[in-house]
Structure 1
Amino acid sequence: MAEDHRHETHPEIVKRLKRAEGHLRSVVEMIEAGRACLDIAQQLHAVEKAIGQAKKTLIQDHLDHCLDDVVGPLARGQRRAIDEFKEITKYL
């Protein structure tokens, strides 16, 4: 059985994904109702942004907590590469 693995950001991530779920339901309804492509594209963009932000938050949270747990304490010089790696992921 997998261990319970939760972070502070998980409720925020769930909220974003539920919002994306609502937008996605709207997209399906819009397509079925024959709505304009521009309107549908705008809703799809909202879904995409919400999911992308949820993914980014999850990955950064993982790096900030789980990676540090695995690596453990390091000297400042050794820590630099990990800190830079964590910083560059913000641009994904």
Structure 2
Amino acid sequence: MQDKTHLHQSHGEIIKRLKRVDGHLGHVIAMLEEGHRCVDIAQQLHAVEKGICQAKRTLIQDHLDHCLEEATKARAQGASVSLEEFKEITKYL
């Protein structure tokens, strides 16, 4: 069973964004198959890339905001909290 503890408020918006990107990518593939101009395809690929980057940025920022706050509270209450996950996720920035 999937762990639901890592669901954040932003995940719904990220899912919607990625579904739009998925549809957009399908359109780009069709453009390639139909022989559209490279400049038009590059423009559409740029839009896909921006959508994915924005989704990633939102995910990481939300993770840092939400999980770091929880870790700070837990640490203040004397719990042992590893910061390794926060260090690890920064490589994707």
**TM-score, normalising length: structure 2:** 0.74
Q: Unaligned regions of 5+ residues in structure 1, if any? A: 76-88
**TM-score, normalising length: structure 1:** 0.75
Name the count of aligned residue pairs.
Answer: 78
Counterpart in 2 of 1:9?
Answer: 10
Distance 1:57 1:22 in 2: 20
Structure 1 runs (4+) greater than 3 angstroms displaced: none
The CA deviation string for residues 28-60 of structure 1, in whole angstroms up to 9 with x for no partner, is 100011100011011101100100000000000
Using the aligned pairs only, state the percent identity: 62
Q: Unaligned regions of 5+ residues in structure 2, if any? A: 77-89
Q: What root-mean-square deviation, in Å, do the aligned CA atoms of Structure 1 and Structure 2 show?
A: 2.1
Distance 1:67 1:2 in 2: 22
Q: Which amino acid aligns with 2:14?
A: I
Distance 1:54 1:74 in 2: 29
The CA deviation string for residues 3-40 of structure 1, in whole angstroms up to 9 with x for no partner, is 20211111110011011101110111000111000110
* Structure 2 SS opposite 1:8: coil
1:69 deviation in Å? Answer: 1.1
1:68 deviation in Å? Answer: 1.5
Aligned positions of 1:36-55 closer than 5 A: 36-55=37-56
